[in-house]
Structures are given as C-alpha cells and as structure tokens.
Structure 1
Amino acid sequence: MNKIISSGNLWLDQNNNHISAHGGGILYYDKVFYWYGEDNTQGYLNSVGISCYSSTDLYNWKHEGTVLKQEQMPQELQAKNMGRVERPKVIYNEKTKKFVMWMHVEQKGYALSSAGVAISDSPVGPFEFLFYDRPVLFEPKEGFDQHTNEKELGNSFRDMTLFVDDIDSDGNGSLDAYVLYSSEGNWTMYIARLNSDYTWIDLPKTSNRIRPQYTIDDLGDKWSRQFIREMREAPTPFKYKNQYYLMTSACTGWKPNLAEYAVANHPLGQFETVGNPCVDDTKETTFDSQSTFVLPIDPNNGQYIYMGDRWEPDDLGKSTYVWLPLTVDNSGEVFIEWQDEWSYENYWIN
C-alpha cells in the first residue's frame, strides 16, 4: 500500500492506470474521500465526462468510474458537438440527502461559458444532469463581454468551485453553500450563495426564465463581485478560525503562474489580497501548477493540502497533480512548501 504523496509524477489507481480527475475536488463523506474531476483520457475535444475515485487514506485510490458521462448530457454538450466539462465539484446536502455537482460546461471557443448542475443519491453516481445556465445578469461599467454574449445570456461562468460553510444561517437544515466563478469574460470573480437544495443560487425573485436569472436589483446581500478587472481564475476557498481564505491564479491559459491568496471575514468578501503563499517558488509558477482545491486535514491547527494540476496541454490525459502541505500559522499567514515526497501524518509532527 502506498503511503506517500509524490507531486508531478503519474499517480496510479488500483488498476495501475493514471488517475484522470483534473480540475477536481474532494468530498469527504462517511469516512471516505471521493475525488471528482475531468476525465481527459481521450483528449481535450473528446471529453469522456466526470470521473470519480475513492480512498480511505488519500494515498491509494479506487476508480469508481465515470459518474457523469458526456454522452448523457444535452446534445449540444456532447463530445461530438465539441462539448466538455471543466472543474467539477460535488457537495452533500444533509437536508435533501442528495449529492450535488456543479461544473463549468463549455464548447470549443469558450463562448458557451455556463454552469451545469447534476444530482445523485450516491457519491459514486450515476449523476443526473439537470440543466445548464448562467446565474447572474449584471452590466459592468466596462460593458458586457461580447464573445460570450453576456447581454443576452447573462454573465459568463468559467473556472468555478463550491464552498460549504459550517453555518446554517437560516436554520433550514442546510449549511450555507456558495459557488465561486470567473465571470465577465474572466475579468472579475463572482461569489453567490446557493439555495437550500444547492441546485441554484439563493435569490428571492423569479422571472419568466425556466431557471431564474437574476439582475443586480434582485441580488441583495447574497452575491458579490471580487477582484474586479484583475483577471483571476482557479478559485480555491477554505476557512481558518472564522476567516475565509481564497486562492486564485492569473489567467495565462495552460501555463502556470504566480498564485495569490486573499482573506475576508465573510464568504462573500470583501476579499483583500495578501500575496503569494508559496515558499521558495523561485520560478513564481506555484511550483508549476494551477490551484484546484484546498483539502482540510486538521483545520483547527491550520493544516490543509493544496491540490493543483500540472497541465500538459498537448496531451491533457497525461497532466499530473501537485499536492503539497498548506499551513496557516497563528497570525493567519499561509505557507505552501514544496516536498518531493511526503505524508500528511508525518509532515505536521512537531
């Protein structure tokens, strides 16, 4: 049994196949870790769908299969029509007993730029695809992004993630959950609170749309714009001692760049940028990776795992993973340190 995390190398599952769960995230449920991500084994324009792997120790992974297949999605999102899914995340809703998946759905050219939502009764699927749409319609002073037809369809929805807080502010049986995503053609990041079912955003008004899209007049205090005109993507939130942290990357395509983290006292912000969390990252490329998730290990003591992708754009299926110890010290400062090989049980032993 493997007991080592080794970054930047091929990571094999129980069948000795390279794990294909790119742009992914982890759900911890009933003492099992479930890792969901893009199945890129057939390449960029031949998306298989969303894969799932399970583990009880974070080192050894069982392939649970493709839990949402591209061929089961709407016609225009299928691989034959150049559809694909990116950065899927799954959270569990204690109230509905459903596993809820959000994703960025796309086509060649990145003009579709919409949110997709699916649900399942089991963490290993199958997931039922519900719909795709854009949550918010807001015209920034710089104008709508024309490439993604924002004026007609709503603000674009690209790199995304989900965050579940440990607070049930409404007392309705669902912990508060949020979707974070790059919008306005990647110029600005949006954060919106989800409804109690986690299947769309939590806003009071409806419209004549099948799935209501909301304007700024409807949004109230359940939506915010962050990093305005700063072009940040790859959001990865986490919480430490009632403070909310958010790591992001710059927008440089598949090429890695310098990570930044920001801090706020509420999941909707206002997030204030602190700086680069990486220690001795001499190339300033986040150790040649792009953030996708931060996994709590012992959050009370500031112990997390940074999860990133090391993209191989010419052969996405061979992209590897960079998992590194992320530590928050008593002052709230974040540190990510490079380790060729490490185990989380031993790293934080004083």
Structure 2
Amino acid sequence: MHAQEAQHGQVDIVGVSCYSSNDLLSWRNEGVVLHGEENNLSHDLHKSNVLERPKVVYNNRTGKYVMWMHIDDANYTKSSISVATSDSPMGPFTYLYSKRPHNYERRDMTIFKAYLIYSSKGNNELHIVQLTDDYLDMTDGMRRILVARYREALALFKFRDIYY
C-alpha cells in the first residue's frame, strides 16, 4: 500500500500500488492501481480511512482481476471488506462497494482460489466463505474455524492434498 503518515498516527489512504517481477528478486513499481479519495469524506477510500491487506485474484470466467481488501474507519469500527475490479493487474481498478460479510466484523484476510478467509470476533476465529462465480461477492454459506484461537496475518497453502 502506498501511504503518507497522518498527524494522528494513522496512515492516510493514497492508494494501492502494484509491483511486478520476472524472478521474485527484482521488483518494478507499476504505480498506483487504485487511488484514494481526496475530497469525498463519506467515500470508503477517503484518505482519513484505513485500507489494509489488498489481495488480487484473476477470474478465468470473466477475464477480470478482482481486488479484495480490508476497509475501516480511523477508529477501526467499520471493519468491512471491499471489492474493486480491473481488466489488467496493473489497473486502473474501479472501486465497487464495501460490506460486512455475513454481518461479522472482518479484519485480516486472504484469498485462496475462489475462497475468502478472514479473521473475525477480535481475531479470535476464522471464517471461510466461497466467492460467487464472478468473484465479486460471497456466497451465503460460511464456515467458522479455529474458534477461540487468536489469529492474525493469515495465509493458506496446499501441500500434498492438505490445506494449511
């Protein structure tokens, strides 16, 4: 995330930057692919709000890149997810909406294939939900896992047919 430090200790939203690499050692800054909002105070991307943990996934069916991210207000009471789309991983991304999935707070998150995994209940449980076919929303079914086990900065991977 590209950001500027605010006087009150928060980080102003400037936007989400994209970096590319051919070898995972040398990186090139591709610029800001989703810009923050300077003037509209009620917009989720207003510079006074919080944008964290952006993740981009490609949808083979629609040919779109879909960005999911944590959006919050300066006091961390909004605790929502938001979605933006683009025809290119280098943007520009178009901001679509924010919401609280299944009426739960949403904090740290990751995307794995067609699944959104996020922490909730003060990071004391994880929720897993399948995305819709276009990856623009979540399905109704949600599973709670690792209940009463504090988790932050989660990541998911598969090794020998087991998901970790």
Q: TM-score, structure 1 length as denominator?
A: 0.44
Instruction: Check if 1:130 corresponds to 2:130.
Output: no
Aligned equivalent of 2:127: 190
C-alpha offsets along residues 266-287 of structure 1, whole Å, 9 cap, x if unaligned? xxxxxxxxxxxxxxxxxxxxxx
* Secondary structure of residue in 2 paired with 1:71: coil
One of 64, 77, 86 as aligned partner of 2:45: 77
- Whole-angstrom CA distance in 2 between matches of 1:52 and 1:77: 17
- Whole-angstrom CA distance in 1 between matches of 2:26 and 2:45: 32
Structure (1 or 2) with the larger CA radius of gyration: 1
Matches within 5 A, 1:107-118: 107-118=73-84
Runs of 4+ in 1 over 4 A off after TM superposition: none
Is the 8 Å Cα contact of residues 70 and 84 (structure 1) preserved in structure 2? no
Aligned equivalent of 1:53: 19
Q: CA deviation at 1:128?
A: 0.4
* 2:111 alignment partner AA: L
Q: CA deviation at 1:77?
A: 3.4
Q: CA deviation at 1:185?
A: 2.6
Count the aligned residue pairs: 158
Aligned equivalent of 2:117: 180
Runs (5+) with no aligned partner, structure 1: 1-37, 137-153, 165-176, 204-218, 246-350
Task: Give the helix-richer structure, 1 or 2.
Answer: 1
Task: State the percentage of identical aligned residues.
Answer: 44
Q: CA deviation at 1:47?
A: 2.0
- Whole-angstrom CA distance in 2 between matches of 1:230 and 1:195: 28
* Secondary structure of residue in 1 paired with 2:129: strand
- Whole-angstrom CA distance in 2 between matches of 1:162 and 1:198: 10
C-alpha offsets along residues 23-82 of structure 1, whole Å, 9 cap, x if unaligned? xxxxxxxxxxxxxxx223x12331212110111111111111110111188624301xx2
Aligned equivalent of 1:236: 155
* 1:156 alignment partner AA: E
Task: Give the strand-richer structure, 1 or 2.
Answer: 2
Q: CA deviation at 1:130?
A: 0.4
Root-mean-square deviation over aligned CA pairs = 1.5
Is the 8 Å Cα contact of residues 116 and 130 (structure 1) preserved in structure 2? yes
* 1:53 alignment partner AA: Y
Q: TM-score, structure 2 length as denominator?
A: 0.90
* 1:103 alignment partner AA: M
* 2:94 alignment partner AA: E
Matches within 5 A, 1:301-312: none
Matches within 5 A, 1:20-35: none
C-alpha offsets along residues 111-131 of structure 1, whole Å, 9 cap, x if unaligned? 010000000001100000000
Q: CA deviation at 1:229?
A: 1.6
Runs (5+) with no aligned partner, structure 2: none
* Secondary structure of residue in 1 paired with 2:11: coil
Aligned equivalent of 2:110: 161
C-alpha offsets along residues 307-340 of structure 1, whole Å, 9 cap, x if unaligned? xxxxxxxxxxxxxxxxxxxxxxxxxxxxxxxxxx
